[in-house]
Structure 1
Amino acid sequence: MFDYRKLFDLSGRKALVVGAGSGIGEAAARGMSAHGAEVICADMNADAAERVAKSLSETGGHGSALALDIRDGDAVLQTMAALSDLDVLVSTPAINVRKPLLQMTEDEFDRVIALNLKGTFRLMTAAGRTMAKRGRGSIIAMASIRALTVEPGQGVYAATKAGVLQMCRTLAAELGPQGVRVNAIGPGVVDTPLTAPISANREWYDAYAKKSALGRWAQPHEIAGAVVYLASDAASFVTGTLTLVDGGWTAVDGRFTPPL
C-alpha cells in the first residue's frame, strides 16, 4: 500500500537551486532542505550562496554552496557534468528593465533575454540530459504572472517569462517518456530584491497589493510550498503545468468592485 505520509518527503534526493542566495531561491532551498533534500545552493554571489548553505547545515540539513553565473554556458555544462545524480533543479534567476518598449534599447533587451530566457534554457536542457539518462527527475523554473498578463513597462520581462513557460511545456512533452517532469511556477508580486524598486514607492507598493484577492504581497517562503510539492512524489503525475502562487491576482485582474 502506498505510504501517504511520504508524499512530500525529499530524503535522499539531491537538489540544485540556482539563485539560492536570496529571495525565492533562498526560500526554495530552505523548504526542500526542511523536507530532507540535500541542497546545492548556487548563486552569482558566492558569499550569499555560502551563507544560505551554512544556515541549512546549522539547522540540521545538508547544504553546500556553488558560485554559478547561468550566462556562462561552459560553467553550466561543467556544473551539470559534475551532478550526474541530480534529482531536482530549481531555476530562479531573473532581471527586469522597467521601460516602455519604444524606449528599450537593444542592449537592455539582450541583457534581460540573456539571463531570464537563455540562461534558463541552458539550465533546463543541461539538467534534462542528465535526468533523462537516469530515467527520473524534476525540473522547476520560475515563470511569473507576467507569462499571462502584463502592464506597461514589462514587455521584455513578460516575453521572457512566457518563453520560460513554453519551454517548460515543451521539455515536459519531450522528456516525459524518460520519466522527467518539468513544471513552471508563476508567482505574483513577492517581496524580494528584484521588486525592491517597487517596495520603495509606497503608492506603487499599495497599488500592487490591492490587485490580488488577498490584498497583500507574498513573502518568499510562500512560494516554497509549490517548489516542495513539484519536487516531491506528491506531484509524481504532474508535468507541463504552470502553478500560480499569486494571491488570486490573475483571477481578479482588472476587476471593478461596484458599490453594492
Structure 2
Amino acid sequence: MSLSLDLAGRVALVTGGGTGLGRAATDALVAAGATVVIAGRRADVLEAAAKAAGAQALSCDVSDRDATHTLIARIMDAHGQLDILVNAAGLNIRGDSFEYSFDDWERVHAVNTRGLFFMSQAAGRVMRERGYGKIINIASMASEIGMPGIVAYGSSKGGVRQITQGLAVEWAKSGIRVNAIEPGWFRTELTEPLFSNKEWLAKVESRVPMGRAGMPQEVGGAIAFLASSLSDYVTGAILRVDGGALAA
C-alpha cells in the first residue's frame, strides 16, 4: 500500500471554495495534484478564485437539495468520478438569543447542517459506487464551547460533528471516510469584522497558547492529510486546528 500526500488522479469538490477556509482547502488540494471543482453562490467570486487557484468553478446553493444533486451529476459528467468532498460552505448570523429570528435560525441551519448533509449524501452515493471516498467537513470550536451571540451557528456546527461521526460509522463499509476539521479563530471574510476590533483580538490571542489567531492557509495541511492515502485508516475524527485553544 502506497502512503502519500499525492492526489494526482483524484477529483475533489470544495463547497464554499472561493473564500476563507474553503479557498485554503482549494489551494492545498490543487497543490497536492488533485483536479478541484469549487462551488458556491457568488459566480464572480468563484470564477476569480478558480482562475487564481487553477481550479474549476460551478455555481451551487448548498441549501437547495436539488441543486446539490445537479452539481454532483455535472461533476460526474465532466470527470467520471468524485473522490474528495470538502464541505466548507458556511453561514453565521450573529444576534441576541432573546431576539433571534426564526428566519435567521433557518438560514444558518439550511447551509451549515442540512446543506452539508445532503451534499454529503449526493457525493456519498457516487463514492459508494467506486468503493472509495473522503469527506472532510468544516466544524468549529463553537461546537464544543458556549459563545454568546452565535447560538444558531454553534448548534449547527455541533450538528456537523454528529453528522461526521454518524456517517463515518455508517459509511465505513462502503469505503468512505468521513472526518472533520475543527478550526479555532481564523481571519477570514466571515470573521473580518471581529478582527478589526483590537480589544476582541487581544482577548482571543490571550486564550490561544500559540499566542495568535490562525491564517486560512494553515488549515491546508490538515485538509491535504485527510484527503490523502496517509489518512486511509482515519474516519470519524474531529481534528482540532486551533493553536491549542481548546486544550488550554
Three-state SS of the structure 1 residue aligned to 2:38 is: strand
Aligned to 1:251: 247
Return the offset for 1:100: 3.0
Once the two structures are TM-superposed, the CA of residue 146 in structure 1 deviates from its matched residue by 1.0
Equivalent position of 2:72 in the other structure: 80
Instruction: Look up the equivalent residue of 1:23 and give its one-letter code.
Output: G
Partner AA of 1:65 in structure 2: A
1 CA distance for matches of 2:100 and 2:159?
Answer: 19
Which of 209, 219, 232 lines up with 2:215 in the alignment?
A: 219
Q: Radius of gyration: which is bigger?
A: 1
Match for residue 255 of structure 1?
Answer: none
Is contact 1:10–1:35 with CA below 8 Å preserved after alignment? yes
Provide the C-alpha distance between the structure 1 equivalents of 2:52 and 2:171, rounded to a whole number of angstroms: 34
Cα deviation for residue 3 of structure 1 reads 4.5
Please say which of residues 37-46 and 177-186 is displaced more in the overlay: 37-46
Q: Is the 8 A contact 1:172 1:239 kept in 2?
A: yes
Residue identity matched to 2:5? F
User: Which structure 2 residues correspond to residues 232-251 of structure 1 after superposition, within 5 A?
Assistant: 232-251=228-247
1:113-128 to 2 correspondences below 5 Å: 113-128=109-124
Please say if 1:71 is aligned against 2:67.
no
1:39-85 C-alpha deviation (Å, 9 max, x unpaired):
1121211122111221233xxxxx21111111121111111123341
Partner residue of 1:196 out of 169, 172, 192:
192
Moved more, 23-32 or 44-53: 44-53
Deviation at 1:91, TM superposition (A): 0.8
CA contact 1:41–1:50 (8 Å) conserved in 2: no
Pairwise CA RMSD: 1.2
Match of 1:12 in 2: 9
Q: In structure 2, what is the Cα distance between the partners aligned to 1:54 and 1:193?
A: 19
Q: TM-score, normalised by structure 2?
A: 0.95
Residue 158 (structure 1) aligned with residue 154 (structure 2): yes
CA distance in 2 between partners of 1:3 and 1:163 (Å) = 34
Q: 1:52 aligns with which of 49, 52, 63?
A: 49
Does residue 206 in structure 1 map to residue 202 in structure 2? yes
- CA distance, structure 2, for counterparts of residue 83 and residue 179 of structure 1: 20
2:224 pairs with 1:228: yes
Comparing 149-158 and 179-188, the one that deviates more: 149-158
* Gap regions ≥5 residues in structure 1: 58-62, 253-260
Q: Which piece of structure 1 moves more, 21-30 or 82-91? A: 82-91
Unmatched tracts of structure 2, length 5 or more: none
Q: Do structure 1's residue 129 and structure 2's residue 125 form an aligned pair?
A: yes
- Is the contact between residue 58 and residue 71 of structure 2 (CA under 8 Å) also seen in structure 1? no
Overall identity of the aligned pairs, in %: 40
Give aligned pairs, total.
Answer: 244
1:257 is matched with none
- What is the TM-score of this pair, normalised by structure 1? 0.91
Q: Does 1:43 pair with 2:40?
A: yes
Query: Within 2, Cα distance between the matches of 1:101 and 1:144?
Result: 19
CA contact (8 A) 1:21 1:43 kept: yes
Mapped contact 1:42–1:67 kept (Cα < 8 A): yes
The answer to whether residue 87 in structure 2 is matched with residue 91 in structure 1 is yes
Conservation of the 8 A alpha-carbon contact between 2:69 and 2:122:
yes
Number of the residue aligned with 1:182: 178
How much has 1:24 moved relative to structure 2?
A: 0.6
SS in 1 for 2:75: coil
